[in-house]
Amino acid sequence: MGVSRSQARWTDEDIAGLPAWTLVQAYHPIARRFHEIFAAEQLTPVQFGVLLQLEATPGISQAQLARKILVRQQSMAELLSGLVERGLLARDLDARRGRTVPIVLTDAGRDLVLRAADAVAQFNRAAHLGLTEAESQTLNSLLHKVIAASREW
């Protein structure tokens, strides 16, 4: 079904044929489960994203980090400060004045993100999501396309 319609009334089939709306519907139970996983570690999904991205790409700039986890740069400073206060991140104060101060995971931050990442990996198993491995890979690829397209909106 295409998105354009000529009928006066919506049908269940029309609604089921809206991919972005289906994505919203899938988001709710998935987000609920992620909130449960992260609550066990006293994290939000966005905080987890920051920690995981810093684990994967040490030395990433604050601007790059904001782009990777899809938050505004203005929100990133507050987010990082909260994680620094919790002892999960540290600012490399040995950096030269006038240069970007690198943010690094502390040992506590690394331990926490690795614990949470194990639970996230388990939740992302294809069978857990009701998918085959091939379907899971296809879905992930398509979602990355949607994310890329969303940067143009």
Looking at the structure of the chain, the number of domains it has is 1
Q: Is residue 103 part of a domain?
A: yes
Query: What CATH number corresponds to the domain at position 68?
Result: 1.10.10.10
User: What is the residue-level pLDDT of the chain in tens, covering all 153 positions?
Assistant: 555 666 689 999 999 999 999 999 999 999 999 999 999 999 999 999 999 999 999 989 899 999 999 999 889 999 999 999 999 999 877 665 666 778 999 999 999 999 999 999 999 999 999 999 999 999 999 999 999 999 899
User: The whole model's pTM is what?
Assistant: 0.83
Query: 124 CB contacts (<8 Å, ≥6 apart)?
Result: 136
Closest CA to 51 of 3, 115, 135, 96: 115
Q: Is residue 33 part of a domain?
A: yes
Structural domain including 17 reads: 12-127
**Are the beta carbons of 108 and 51 closer than 8 angstroms?**
no
Q: Is residue 44 part of a domain?
A: yes
